[in-house]
Structure 1
Amino acid sequence: MNRQHWLTAAVLGIALPAACLSACGQDRGGFKQIDQSFSPDASVDAPDCRHQCSLDGRSIVEACTGTVVETCPDHLACGGAKCIEPCAAAAEDRSSNGCDFYFQSPQLMKRLPPSCYAAFVVNTSNQPVELSLELAGEPVDVSKTMFLTKPGSATLLQHTGPIPVGESVIVFLSDASPEMPRNIEWELSYKACPAGVTPATFAQTLTGGTGVGSSFRLQTNAPVSLAAMYPFGGATSYVPTAGLILPVASWAKEHILVNGWEASESGSPGIQIVASEDETEVTILPKRDIQDGEGVKGGRAGRPAKYMLGKGQYLRIVQDEELTGSIITSTKPTTSFGGHSCGDVPATAATCDILAQQIPAFEHWGSEYVGVAYRPRLGNEHEAVPYRIVAARDGTMLEYDPEIPPGAPTMMNAGETVTFRQGTGDAFVVRTQDTEHPIYVAAYMTGSSGDGKTAKSYGGRGDPEFVNIVPAGQYLNAYSFYADPTFGETSLVVVRAKLRGEFRDVWLECAGNLTGWKPVGTRGEYEYLRVDLARNGRAGESFGESICQNGLQRMKSEGPFTATLWGWDYAASYAYPGGMAQRKLVEAPLGSVH
C-alpha cells in the first residue's frame, strides 16, 4: 500500500546480520552428506529395504529400490507403510495435505477494517470431498460460500455439494459486517468480498494488537490442500498476503518463533499461536520483553511466560520489539503463524504489505535449502531478494554452493537471525553440518516504491511479501494448488532434486514435461526453472496448443521437487509453497524452557 495514503489514513501504528564468526571451506570436510533418496519417513540415514509409502502416498514400496510392493485401492491411501483410510493415512505420513485445519485472518493492526478473507481448497484425494467449517466451537454454514473459477478467469461460479476429485473451490470465510461504522480508513484500506458473494461469517468488531482470538476450523472427509488469502481481490486490495495452511496432524509441542519482518513506521511484527485442544499451556522463552496486551500479561526477556489456550483459540502478540528466535513449547500440540501488520521491506522503503506464513514446527526444519525466487520484475536476474535464516542450535555451521552470498552467515547460534540479499536468479544451496543443526529460511519480495536511496523502485510492480522456503528433506513428488486469478503476474518457481542419482521429469498439467532446467551450484544435485502462469495481465507461457494460466495447477514427478507461487500486481503481491511434507527431520528436542 502507498505509504502516503497510509499516513493520510492515520492508521500508522530486527533481525540484525550476525558477524561471520568463521568461514566454511569450499571442501566438504566435516559436513555430513544428506541422503537424496527422499524417503517419506523421517530417516535421512542410509536407506534400507524396509517398506514405506511412495512419495505420492498411493503405494507401498521398498525403501532401497523404490519397487512397488502394493498399490492401494482408490478408496485407501498409504500411511505408515499400510493401505488405510485416507485421512488416517494423511495423519500418519504427515504433509501439508490433511483433513483438519485451524487458521485465522492475518490482520494484526486493530485500526484497519476487517476485509474479505478466503481460502483455496484443492481436493488432492481420490474421492469427492465434503467440508465443514466452525468458529469458536460453533458450526458455520458454507453451503452458499463456495465458488469455482475457470482457468485464467476471475469470474466466480457458485458451487454446491462435494468438491470433485482433483478440483478446487474458493471458500469465502469472512467480511466486515454491513452494520460496522465506516470512515476514511475504510475507503483506503477495506476490500470487500466480490459482488454476489455472501461470506460464511461477518466480523462485528475491529481486531488486532496483542490479545486472544478464535480460529476457523475446516474439516474434510478426505485429504485436501489448503491455502488462505487476505484480503481476497488482488491488486485492488493493496496489502494482500497468502499462506499454505498446515493440518493439525503436523503440529508439535516445540517451535521457534518467527516474525514476518522488523518494525517500521508502517507496522509491527506479530505472531499467532494456535491450540487445537482445551487446556493447552503455552510457554514462551522470549528473546526480548513481551509487552502487555488486551487480556494478555507480558513477560521479561529470558524468563518463561505462560499462557493457557482453549480449543480453537489463538494467542496474538504484536509489538515493535521482534521476538524471532524465541522458543515456544506447549503441553499439547500447537502451531504458529509469523507475520507483520504491514511490513516495509526494507524498513526504509515505502508501500507496506501484510505478511503471514504458517511456520513449520521445529522438528520439521531442515538442514539444506535451495534459494531461488520469482521472475525478475524488471528483467534483471540480479534483482535483490532478501533471505532470512534463523538458527536453532549453537555452533550451526553453514556452507553455500556455488559461493557465499554477500552478507550471508557461516556460523550461527541458537535463536540468531541473519538477513542477506541475493539476486532472484542467482540460485544457491545452503546447508548445515547435520540434521541436528536445522535452520529456517525465508525469501522476500521488496516494496515496489523503494526509498530513493539504496532500495530500488519497481514502478509499482509488486510489494513486500515473504514465503517459507521448503527444505530439501520436505520435497514431495505431486502437488495441486491454486494461483489467484485476480493477479496480473504469476511466476511459478520449480526446484527438483536427484532421486538415486538421476533427475526425473516434472509434469505440469498446462505444459507437459517441463524443459529448460538450470543447474543450482556446482554439485549437480538440484536444478530449477520458472513458468509464467500470468504476465502483463494476460495468460502465461504457451506449450504447443496449451497455455498456462492462473487457477488450479497440478504437478507430478517420479522424483522429489518443490514448487512456489509468486503473484504480483500494482502495489500488491503474494507467495506460498504449493505443498510440503512434514517429516520429522530433527530428533533431539529443543529442551525444557521452564
Structure 2
Amino acid sequence: MMLRVSRVASVLVAGLAFVSAGACGEDRVAFRPSPPGFSPEVDAGACVDRCSLDGRSVIKCTGELVEACPSDLACGGGKCQAQCAAAAAEGSSNGCEFFLQPPFLVATVFHAHSCYASYVVNTSTVPVDVELEYQGKALDISKSMYRTVPGEATLVPHTGAIAPGDGVVLFVSDRPTRPDRPSTESAHTPCPTGTTAALYRDYYPNGTQFGSSFHLKTSAPVSAAAIYPFGGAPSIAPSATLLLPVSTWSKENILINAWASGRIFPPGAQIVASEDDTEVTIFPKKDIQDGIGVAGSPAGVPATYRLQKGQFLQLVQHQELTGSFVTSTKPTSIFAAHVIMDIPSDNGTADLEGTQVPAYEQWGSEYVGVGYRPRRGDEHEPMPYRIVAVRDGTRLDYDPVVPRGAPLELNAGEVAAFASGVGDAFVVRTQDAEHPIHVAQYMTGQSGDYWGSGRDFAGQGDPEFVNVIAAGQYLTAASFYADPTYSETSLVIVRAKTDGEFKDVTLECLGGPVTGFRPVGTRGDYEWTRVELSKRNRPGTTSGDKACHYGAHRLRSDGAFTATLWGWDLAASYAYPSGQATRRLVQAPLITK
C-alpha cells in the first residue's frame, strides 16, 4: 500500500568556528584566539585514546589503530562497547531511549488532539528494533511505521527492524475518530488516510497540570525528532523538535518558555522525569500559578514537585518563567512550549510550539546565527532571536556587527529579544565558558515581520522556534529526516575551521561535498551555505545525476559543523537541528552557595 501526502520544508543552521585541539578526537575542539576579555570555550584536554570519526575503531592520538571494533559494537569513550553504551559515552543527540509528548497545552476552538509523529533514523551499523510505551504499557507499532519513497511524497508501510542509514515516520497518537473515518472537525488534523497510529485517545489538556510522556526505546542508536501535528499545510500550527536521549539529561536545567505571552494565549513548559520518585525544585522568577493538582508558589520561593518515570509537569501561564533555575534529584529534561505563539505579538497568525532544550551544563558561550532561505527572496528578512543568560554580568560580543536591538550585557535569568536578517550571519560570544547562554531563533508569521511592517510572505510559513546549537556542540556527522508533507525543504550548514582549514561537508543525496560556503563575520572562523532538499514539491539541489528530496539524509565531515532543517508551506512551518553533541561545557554548578 502506498499513501500520498502533501508536502513542504526548509532549513537553517547555526554554527561556530573550531580548530582542532591537537589530535585528541573529534569531540575535542577549541576556538581560535578570542578578543581581549573573551576566553576559549573548550580546552584541548589530555591526549588519550579516542574513537575514529566513523566510530568503528579505537585509535591513538597519533591516529595509529589500537583496535577495530567488532561489527556489533561501536567505539565510545575510547573503547569498543555495546552500541547504546557507546552512544551514551560519546554524548550526542543519537541514543537509544527518549521521552516525548505533544505540545498540546490547552484544548481550544483552534486545536483538538491531532496526529503526533516521530522521525526515527538509524545511525548505527546494525538493524534497529523500535519499541514504544505509554504509561508503562507497550504499544503495538507494527502498523504505525512508514518510510518515504525516494523522490516522492509517498508513505509506504514499514515492518520489522530499520536498516542502517534508513529512516521511518512513526505515527505515535491520534484521536479515536481515526482510523475508521476521517474527522470532520476543522481543529483536528488526522494522521494520513490509510495509516494507523500506535495509540488513539481523547486528550483535553487544560493548562498547568501533570501528564504522561511516550517512551521510545531502540536496540541501537538512532536520531529521533517529533512533530505535532503531522501533515504539512493542512495541520496549520505544527512544531517540531530534535529529541535528546535520556543519557544526556541532567539534574540542573533552566526553564525556557518558547516566547512571550501572546495576545490571548500564554507560553508554557514541560518538565519530564526519566526515573521514579524524582523531586523537581523550581526557583521561579515569577509567581507560579496554581493548576490542576499543582500548587503554585510566589516568585523567589522554591517549589518542589514529585514526578514518576515518564511523567511531566506542565506549566502554562501568561507570566513568563523563562530563566528560572530547575534542579532535580534524578535526571530531567525541559521542553519549551507555547499554546499559540504570535510573532510578532500583534500578528494574526500563530502556531503552537514544543522544543526540547539542552541541559544547563551543555549550554555554550559562542553561537552562530544564520537563517532559512528567505521566503520572498530578501536576505534581510528579519529573523527574531532570544538570548537567556545564567550569570550576572554576562557580556555579549558580536561579529561582524551588533544586530539591531541585541543586548550587550545580561544578568542571571534575563531574556532579551532582537532580530537579524536571515542572510546576515553573525557570531555572538560571552567572556568565558562559565557565562553560558541559550540562543533560540524564530520564523515570524506569514504576514508582518518582527519590526511591525506590513510585509507579506504570500501566506508562506508561520511562527516556529528552534535551538541554535552551541559552538562547543558541533559534530562531524549527523542524520535527519525531511518531512514529505512540506513543499519547501532547505538545509543551512555552518562549518567551523578545523586544523586551520575548512573541511568538506558531504551530503549523501549530492554524492559529494556541499558547495557555496560564505564567510560568517570578519574573524574567519566559520562559513555557511544552504542546500535545497525540495522546491515547490519537486526535488531541490542537484549534482550530476543526483538530486536531494524528502526522507532520511546523512551529513559527514572531517571537521566540525552544524545544520538545521526548516520546512514551510501555506501558514505552516517546522524546524529542528540535524543533531548536536551534548558535551559538558560548563563546570560550575547551577546554584552556588
TM above 0.5, yes or no, is yes
TM-superposed deviation, 1:264: 1.2
Name structure 2 gaps, 5 residues minimum: 1-32
- Residue matched to 2:514: 514
CA distance in 2, matches of 1:293, 1:197: 36
Residue type at the aligned position of 1:102? F
Please list, as runs of the form range in 1=range in 2, the aligned pairs for 1:51-62 lying within 5 A after superposition. 51-62=49-60
- Look up the match of 1:562: 562
Aligned to 2:331: 333
Match of 2:80? 83
**Distance 1:241-1:322 versus aligned 2 partners, 3 A rule:** same
Partner SS for 1:88: helix
Shift of 1:524: 0.9
Q: What is the letter of the counterpart of residue 572 of structure 1?
A: A
Q: CA deviation at 1:256?
A: 0.6
Q: Which residue of 2 aligns with 1:148?
A: 147
Cα offset, 1:501, TM superposition? 1.1
1:252 aligns with 2:255: no
Measure the CA separation in 2 of the matches of 1:67 and 1:572. Answer: 50
Look up the match of 1:575: 575
1:11 corresponds to which residue?
Answer: none
Aligned position for 2:461:
462
The answer on 1:107 being equivalent to 2:104 is yes
Task: Kindly state the Cα deviation for residue 47 of structure 1 after the two structures are TM-superposed.
Answer: 4.4
Q: 1:189/1:55 Cα in 2 relative to 1: closer, same or farther (>3 Å)? A: farther
> How far apart are 1:405 and its partner, in Å?
0.9
Deviations 1:146-204 (A, max 9, x none): 11111232221111111111101111110011299x9x9x7332100111111100122
The Cα shift of 1:541 comes to: 1.5
One-letter amino acid of the structure 2 residue matched with residue 83 of structure 1: C
In 2, Cα distance between the equivalents of 1:559 and 1:53?
15
CA distance in 2, matches of 1:188, 1:222: 39
Q: Please give the alpha-carbon distance, in whole angstroms, between the structure 1 residues aligned to 2:556 and 2:452.
A: 44
Provide closer, same or farther for how the CA distance between residues 592 and 206 of structure 1 changes in structure 2, counting only shifts above 3 A: farther
* Corresponding residue SS for 1:90: helix
Q: Which residue of the partner structure matches residue 29 of structure 1?
A: 36
Q: Against the structure 1 CA distance between its residues 214 and 520, is the aligned structure 2 distance closer, same or farther, given a 3 Å change threshold?
A: same
Q: Residue 480 of structure 1 corresponds to which residue in structure 2?
A: 479
Judge conservation of contact 1:350–1:450 (CA < 8 Å) in 2: no
Query: Which residue is 1:432 aligned to?
Result: 430
The 3 A distance-change label for structure 1 pair 296 and 405 is same
Match of 1:471 in 2: 470
What RMSD in Å do the two structures reach over aligned CA positions?
A: 2.0
Partners of 2:113 and 2:392 lie apart in 1 by 41
Higher relative contact order (CA 8 A, sep 6+): 2
Alpha-carbon distance change, 152 to 265 in structure 1, aligned in 2, over 3 angstroms: farther
Secondary structure of the residue that 1:91 maps to in structure 2? helix
Relative to 1, partners in 2 of residues 1:165 and 1:453: Cα closer, same or farther, differing over 3 Å? closer
Query: In the TM superposition, what are the counterparts of 1:113-192 in structure 2 within 5 Å?
Result: 113-178=112-177, 187-192=185-190
Displacement of 1:471 in angstroms is: 0.8
1:443 aligns to what SS in structure 2? strand
CA displacement, residues 372-425 of structure 1 (integer Å, 9 cap, x when unaligned): 010000000000000111111111111111111111111111101011100000
Match of 1:269 in 2: 267
> What SS is found at the alignment partner of 2:396?
strand
Q: Give the 3-state SS of the residue equivalent to 1:189 in structure 2.
A: coil
Query: Is contact 1:566-1:575 (8 Å) kept?
Result: yes
Q: In structure 2, what residue type is equivalent to 1:99?
A: C
Deviations 1:50-92 (A, max 9, x none): 22234543333445x5555433232111111111000011111
The aligned amino acid for 1:525 is D
CA-to-partner distance for each residue in 1:310-334, whole Å, 9 max, x for gaps? 1110000111111110011101000
The aligned runs of 1:226-375 (5 Å cut-off) are 226-375=224-373
- The answer to whether structure 1 residue 551 and structure 2 residue 551 are counterparts is yes
Q: Is the 8 A contact 2:344 2:452 kept in 1?
A: no
Q: Structure 1: how far apart are the matches of 2:178 and 2:539?
A: 39
Give the conservation status (yes or no) of the 8 Å contact 2:477–2:555: yes
Equivalent residues of 1:365, 1:439 under 8 A apart? yes
The 3 A distance-change label for structure 1 pair 447 and 266 is farther
In structure 2, the partner of 1:402 is 400
Deviation at 1:535, TM superposition (A): 1.2
Q: Within 1, Cα distance between the matches of 2:567 and 2:379?
A: 17
| Secondary structure of 2:234's aligned partner | helix
* TM-score, with structure 1 as normaliser: 0.91
Number of residue pairs aligned between Structure 1 and Structure 2: 556
Partner of 1:381: 379
Residue aligned with 1:50, SS = coil
Q: State the distance in 1 between where 2:295 and 2:155 align.
A: 44
Q: 1:73 to 1:499 in 2, by over 3 A?
A: farther
Distance change in 2, residues 1:300/1:66 (3 Å): farther
Task: Name 1:6's counterpart in structure 2.
Answer: none
Amino acid at match of 1:258: I
Following superposition, the deviation at residue 456 of structure 1 comes to 2.7
Does the 8 A contact of 1:230 with 1:241 survive in 2?
yes
Give the Å deviation of 1:289. Answer: 0.7
Against the structure 1 CA distance between its residues 466 and 56, is the aligned structure 2 distance closer, same or farther, given a 3 Å change threshold? farther
Hey, what's the Cα distance between the residues in 1 that align with 2:372 and 2:387? 19
Q: Give unmatched runs, 5+ long, in structure 1.
A: 1-25, 35-43
Secondary structure at the aligned position of 2:446 is classed as coil
**Contact 2:146 2:168 (C-alpha < 8 Å) held by counterparts:** yes
Q: Distance in 1 between matches of 2:283 and 2:454?
A: 34
Q: Say whether residues 1:98 and 2:95 are aligned partners.
A: yes
Counting aligned pairs with the same residue, the percent is 57
Whether the 8 Å CA contact 2:34–2:40 is kept in 1: the answer is no
**Equivalent of residue 68 in structure 2, options 45, 68, 71:** 71
